[in-house]
């Protein structure tokens, strides 16, 4: 059986689409369709059911993928290991949310870009979870950090760490409301405060209110900036309350330039995932970055 046909089959099986598989393989969609039809003729069985959106594997298709994929991944690992010498520097394309990637992931991964014979060049891009996962699925990225766990067989996600969210404001707002009023009244005491957020929908504040106060925030955004680092700077400057990841505002809390407005028994958490295209951990530079970030994350949680 032709290994090229099996490779195309496994890619379609993971991608769930001829179009997406063609993009990943660098082939035209008719070429992918032709290869799958050739394999189906050789086996005498249909491997996929064609649907309006993508394809669904048949029982035979699932069985073949289960048997063939590990061996194809092992062959990729052998081929990639053969290319991994001192004269070849692989490039890792990383994507993720701007703040976490800049503050956490990139500083950790730059340790792997040195000239030690096992390093790699690093290219990073920022985006939303949807943009990042779509780019990974399309082959534009090698490794993604996402706050959403992807569905389907094309992408494989590994939990990386949990991020605690903190409700904060500059000291003058605590003085204005009063610490005792905050403790006794909770959310109602905060309703008149201006809000600093990343979007008009108040995603961080709304999630905090729902989790901690079991309600919706009454206020609307006063300052909207599409980066949590800018939210942090505006909150320190006194623009209003904000909900921020603890790792991002820990220094400001330690220095007293921000104060926590609430201390819930169970703080809201958001989970980050490391995501790769299934099978690509056979590539040494992706596997090394994946393992390195997991190790680094033990100190982040």
* Phi/psi of residue 237, nearest 5 degrees: -75, -10
Q: Please give the chain's pLDDT, 301 residues, in tens.
A: 678 888 899 889 988 889 888 888 888 889 899 999 999 999 998 999 988 888 999 999 889 988 888 888 777 766 655 555 554 578 999 999 999 999 999 999 988 887 655 678 999 999 999 999 999 988 899 999 999 999 888 899 999 999 999 999 999 998 888 765 666 556 767 888 899 999 999 999 999 999 999 999 887 789 999 999 999 999 999 999 999 999 999 999 999 999 999 889 899 999 999 999 988 888 888 999 999 999 999 998 6
Q: How far is CA 78 from CA 1, 8, 83, 95, in A?
A: 20, 19, 9, 26
Q: What pLDDT shows up at residue 126?
A: 96
* Phi/psi of residue 236, nearest 5 degrees: -60, -35
C-beta separation of 178 from 188 below 8 A: no
Buried b (16+ CB within 10 A) or exposed e, 153-180: bbbbbeebbebebbbbbbeebbeebeee
Task: Give the global pTM.
Answer: 0.76
Q: What pLDDT shows up at residue 115?
A: 60
Measured CA to CA, the distance from residue 80 to residue 95 in angstroms comes to: 22
98 Cβ contact list (under 8 Å, min separation 6): 126, 227, 229
20-27 LR contacts (CB < 8 Å, sep 24+): 20/54, 20/137, 20/138, 20/154, 23/138, 23/139, 24/138, 24/139, 24/277
Measured CA to CA, the distance from residue 163 to residue 244 in angstroms comes to: 10
Buried b (16+ CB within 10 A) or exposed e, 77-106: beebeeebeeeeebebbbbbbbbbbebbbe
pLDDT (tens digit per residue) in 133-163 = 999 988 899 999 999 999 888 899 999 999 9
Domains, the chain, in order of start with CATH, read 3-82 (1.10.10.10), 92-160+272-298 (3.40.190.10), 163-269 (3.40.190.10)
Q: What pLDDT shows up at residue 117?
A: 52
DSSP notation for the chain: --HHHHHHHHHHHHHTSHHHHHHHHT--HHHHHHHHHHHHHHHTS--EEE-SSSEEE-HHHHHHHHHHHHHHHHHHHHHHHHH-STT--EEEEEEE-HHHIIIIIHHHHGGGSSSSSS-EEEEEEE--HHHHHHHHHTTS-SEEEESSPPPSSSEEEEEEEEEEEEEEE-HHHHHHH-HHHHHHH-GGGGTTS-EEESSTT-HHHHHHIIIIISS-----EEEE-SSHHHHHHHHHTTS-BEEEEHHHHHHHHHHTSSEES---SS--EEEEEEEEETTGGGSHHHHHHHHHHHHHHTTT-
Q: How far is CA 267 from CA 125, 208, 263, 287, in A?
A: 30, 8, 8, 33
Q: Residues of the chain with pLDDT > 90: what percent? A: 55
């Amino acid at each position: 059986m032709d290994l090229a046909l099996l490779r195309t089959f496994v890619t379609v099986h993971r991608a769930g689409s001829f179009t997406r598989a063609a993009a990943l393989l660098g082939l035209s969609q008719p070429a992918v369709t032709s290869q799958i039809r050739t394999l189906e003729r050789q086996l005498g069985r249909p491997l996929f059911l064609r649907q309006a959106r993508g394809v669904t594997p048949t029982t035979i298709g699932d069985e073949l993928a289960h048997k063939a994929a590990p061996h194809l991944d092992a062959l990729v690992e052998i081929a990639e290991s053969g290319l991994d010498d001192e004269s070849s520097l692989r490039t890792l394309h990383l994507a993720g949310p701007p703040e976490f990637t800049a503050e956490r992931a990139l500083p950790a991964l730059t340790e792997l870009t040195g000239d030690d014979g096992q390093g790699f060049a690093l290219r990073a891009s920022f985006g939303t979870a949807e943009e990042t996962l779509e780019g990974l699925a399309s082959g534009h990225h090698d490794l993604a950090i996402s706050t959403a766990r992807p569905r389907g067989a094309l992408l494989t996600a590994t939990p990386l760490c949990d991020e605690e969210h903190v409700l904060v404001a500059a000291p003058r707002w605590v003085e204005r409301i009063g610490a005792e009023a905050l403790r006794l009244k909770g959310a109602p005491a905060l309703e008149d405060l201006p809000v600093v957020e990343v979007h008009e929908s108040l995603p961080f504040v709304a999630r905090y209110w729902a989790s901690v106060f079991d309600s919706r925030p009454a206020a609307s955004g006063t300052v909207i900036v599409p980066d949590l680092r800018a939210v942090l700077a505006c909150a320190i400057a006194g623009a209003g309350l904000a909900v921020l990841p603890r790792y991002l505002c820990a220094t400001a809390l330690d220095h007293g330039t921000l104060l926590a407005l609430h201390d819930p028994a169970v703080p809201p958490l958001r989970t980050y995932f490391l995501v790769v295209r299934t099978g690509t951990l056979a590539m040494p530079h992706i596997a090394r970055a994946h393992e390195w970030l997991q190790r680094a994350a033990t100190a982040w949680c």
